[in-house]
Amino acid sequence: MARTKEFDPDAALQAALELFWQRGYEATSMADLVERLGVGRASLYATFGSKRELYLRALERYCEQSDSARLDELSQPGPALPAVRALVRHYATADERERRFGCFVTNTAVELAPHDPAASRRVEASFDHLETLLTGALVRAAAQGELPAGREPRALARMLVVLLQGIRVVGKTTDGATRARDAAEQALALLD
């Protein structure tokens, strides 16, 4: 007879997400996960497979959560450009925790994507999704007369994706908040 799980896999996945987001993949050991999650090593392996599989599931959870929030922000009816500006400024004025941890997707891009094809695919999917959302909002902005003529929504969206990921990396440094705000405002000036 199979044993019943003595822990909540959903809560454990969320706790793993937080730990990986704070420390990264390499700096998080299975012992760290066992301690933080309060779950035995055998139960973790039985439920999630390897540490890498747990990391990828945590990354997927993070993407689902953040993609949903971005979709809500960028798909509201009415003027689209204020939502784009608000998203960029949100990244640039992140609170201390967000600045210190950065973006889980960006962290994965830096740490794992160069040598882990599954992580790279997930990072690319997240970047593509953000680009699609921004492109859609900027196309709406252009159609509503919010963007100056001649601005290419897709190219602007790509520039903003790169900017937002850079903000998350630079934001981890001591002067990162100031650099991020200045860069965001310069990029937003291109939308005028």
Say what the pLDDT of residue 73 is: 83
Could you read off the pLDDT tens digit of each residue along the chain, which spans 192 residues?
A: 455 457 899 999 999 999 999 999 999 999 999 999 988 899 999 999 999 999 999 999 999 888 777 888 888 889 999 999 999 999 888 877 787 888 899 999 999 999 999 999 999 999 999 999 999 999 999 999 999 988 999 999 999 999 999 998 988 887 778 888 999 999 999 888
Instruction: For Cα atoms 137, 140, 141, give the angle at the middle one, nearest 5 degrees.
Output: 85
Say what the pLDDT of residue 5 is: 54
Cα 140 from Cα 161, distance rounded (Å): 18
Global pTM?
Answer: 0.88
Note whether 72 and 90 are within 8 A (CB). Answer: no
Cα 62 from Cα 68, distance rounded (Å): 10
Cα 157 from Cα 146, distance rounded (Å): 15
Say what the pLDDT of residue 1 is: 46
Q: For residue 66, what are the CA distances in angstroms to 9, 69, 150, 170, 187?
A: 20, 5, 31, 20, 22
Which of helix, strand or coil describes residue 16?
A: helix
